[in-house]
């Protein structure tokens, strides 16, 4: 395939960072405003770097549109195996069925991502493998990184971002898999990245204790902020109104467009956070985190109030993702997919979860210091991969 593996990469000099609080809410709002008016006539040598990712009507990582009656869960394992499990309604019941199971890498799979008909997987073997889900064939291998691949996210069908322990974030164009830009700003491994629903911005956190806001319209860094701890996970809400950053057993939730200096909601999970997801339902944003205590904890994004602790697995939770699904009754509802290190993949009706929260909890103003009530609910479906799962992604079969 026409990958960017043999292209020469140009190093960019990162400006010095200012120490301060993680916030960046003002920076995000400012960058979003600037992103609306990209340079009209970029220099010839900057044409590829300035090619915009953001387009209207595209999908966001973890939440796909338009919704369909079925979806495909992809999961990677320590044993190098890549799973593709289709979920489809049989009457009123959701059922999982394996579509493909094969060894995809020569090292542990650390990241998977889905965008339209494409699936990408990244591993400790330092390569990204790309597949066509419609034709069920491998398209090729991307050799751009010089370290373990730690994150993969598509924006719609057009672009793929990959993060690595080499400190770089690569922007690929799916049309020909050319590297449009190599984003350099971290001085250590990149732990996670997240693309704003508009595709105009992205956030990344690294082992260098920094959070970087990227302007994807220009391919440049918008801000770089030192953090008190190592940021391990980052996620945007599908609405684009909030983003969350996880540090060990603590999270901070920021509201985009909040006044400069406005404090973030701080959430104390009391357990190490291994998975992070922000879900939008009925006009409200909810933060979900999977922890070592085998439960998924639900918080209000507006204030960080603890809403529920859901026992989901018999082992620690390793990943969370979500997709909008058309149910047999014709309604479209978000389905959350969780995986655990003991091999179980489970699907949950988030609308059913939200319906059992007490009225008004989604708009709480208190920070997440209290103990959330335990909420027991049955999954829509479950599948045992009988392997040590490490990462998960989802596609709504929109081919």
Distances (CA, A) of 199 to 182, 195, 235, 317: 16, 6, 14, 28
At 193 the pLDDT is: 98
At 391 the pLDDT is: 98
pLDDT digits (tens, 9 = 90+) for 26-78: 455 455 444 443 333 333 333 344 455 654 333 333 344 578 899 999 999 99
pLDDT at 217 over 80: yes
pLDDT digits (tens, 9 = 90+) for 324-335: 999 999 999 999
Whose CA is closest to 280, among 65, 27, 49, 51? 65
Burial class (CB in 10 A: 0-12, 13-18, 19+), 188: middle
Establish if 386 belongs to a structural domain.
Answer: yes
pLDDT at 361 over 70: no
Establish if 7 belongs to a structural domain.
Answer: no
At 66 the pLDDT is: 73
Ramachandran assignment for 69, one of left (phi > 0), alpha (psi -120 to 50 degrees), beta (any other): alpha
Count of all residues that appear for the chain in the document: 399
Return the structure tokens found at 386.
């009988």
Higher-scoring residue by pLDDT: 181, 256: 181
Establish if 8 belongs to a structural domain.
Answer: no
At 25 the pLDDT is: 40
Establish if 12 belongs to a structural domain.
Answer: no
Establish if 20 belongs to a structural domain.
Answer: no
Return the structure tokens found at 64.
């796909």
Q: Within the chain, what is the greatest distance between any pair of CA atoms?
A: 58
pLDDT digits (tens, 9 = 90+) for 248-291: 999 999 998 877 667 678 999 888 999 999 999 999 999 999 99
CATH of the domain at 325: 2.130.10.10
What does the mean pLDDT of the chain come to? 85
pLDDT at 183 over 80: yes
Output the CA torsion sign for 129, 132, 138, 144.
Answer: negative
At 362 the pLDDT is: 52
At 21 the pLDDT is: 40
Establish if 19 belongs to a structural domain.
Answer: no
Give yes or no for a cis peptide into 66 (omega within 30° of 0): yes
Instruction: Please give the tally of structural domains in the chain.
Output: 1
At 32 the pLDDT is: 47
Average pLDDT over residues 74-101: 97
Residue 4: in which H helix or E strand, if any? none
At 178 the pLDDT is: 96
Average pLDDT over residues 4-29: 38
pLDDT digits (tens, 9 = 90+) for 97-150: 999 999 999 999 999 999 999 999 999 999 999 999 999 999 999 999 999 999
Establish if 182 belongs to a structural domain.
Answer: yes
Establish if 13 belongs to a structural domain.
Answer: no
What residue numbers bound the domain in which 88 lies? 25-36+48-395
Tally Cβ neighbours within 10 Å of residue 296.
25
Residue 240 CA to residue 285 CA, distance in Å, equals: 9
pLDDT at 346 over 90: yes
Residue with tokens 């709504």: 396
Compute φ and ψ for 386, nearest 5 degrees: 55, 45
Split at pLDDT 50, 70, 90, the class of 308 is: very high
Average pLDDT over residues 169-186: 97
At 375 the pLDDT is: 95
Distances (CA, A) of 310 to 297, 329, 386: 6, 25, 23
Higher-scoring residue by pLDDT: 80, 39: 80
Residue 15 CA to residue 237 CA, distance in Å, equals: 29
């Amino acid at each position: 395939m026409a990958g960017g593996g043999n292209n020469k990469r140009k190093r960019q000099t990162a400006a010095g960072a200012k120490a301060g609080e993680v916030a960046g809410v003002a920076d995000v709002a400012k960058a979003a405003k600037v992103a609306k008016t990209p340079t009209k006539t970029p220099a010839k040598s900057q044409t590829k770097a300035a090619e915009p990712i953001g387009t209207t009507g595209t999908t966001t990582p973890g939440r796909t549109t338009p919704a369909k009656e079925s979806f495909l869960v992809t999961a990677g394992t320590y044993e190098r195996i890549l799973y593709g499990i289709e979920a489809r309604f049989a009457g009123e019941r959701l059922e999982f069925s394996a579509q493909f199971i094969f060894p995809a890498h020569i090292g542990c799979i650390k990241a998977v991502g889905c965008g339209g008909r494409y699936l990408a997987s990244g591993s400790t073997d330092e390569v990204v493998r790309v597949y066509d889900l419609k034709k069920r064939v491998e398209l090729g291998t991307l050799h751009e990184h010089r370290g373990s691949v730690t994150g993969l996210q598509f924006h719609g069908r057009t672009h793929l971002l990959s993060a690595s322990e080499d400190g770089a974030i690569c922007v690929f164009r799916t049309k020909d898999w050319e590297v449009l830009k190599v984003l350099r700003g971290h001085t250590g491994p990149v732990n996670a990245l997240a693309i704003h629903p508009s595709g105009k911005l992205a956030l990344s956190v690294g082992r260098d204790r920094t959070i970087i806001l990227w302007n994807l319209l220009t391919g440049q860094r918008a801000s770089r902020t030192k953090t008190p701890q190592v940021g391990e996970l980052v996620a945007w809400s599908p609405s684009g109104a909030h983003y969350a950053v996880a540090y060990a057993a603590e999270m901070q939730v920021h509201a985009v467009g909040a006044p400069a200096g406005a404090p973030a909601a701080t959430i104390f999970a009391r357990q190490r956070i291994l998975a992070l997801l922000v879900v939008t339902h009925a006009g409200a944003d909810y933060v979900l985190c999977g922890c070592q205590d085998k439960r998924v904890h639900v918080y209000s994004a507006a204030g960080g109030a603890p809403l529920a602790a859901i026992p989901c697995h018999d082992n620690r939770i390793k990943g969370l993702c979500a997709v909008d699904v058309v149910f047999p009754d014709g309604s479209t509802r978000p389905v959350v997919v969780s995986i655990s290190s003991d091999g179980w993949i489970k699907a949950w009706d988030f609308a059913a979860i939200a319906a059992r929260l007490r009225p008004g909890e989604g708009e709480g103003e208190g920070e997440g210091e209290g103990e959330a009530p335990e909420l027991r609910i049955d999954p829509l479906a479950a599948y045992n991969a009988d392997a040590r799962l490490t990462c998960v992604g989802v596609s709504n079969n929109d081919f």
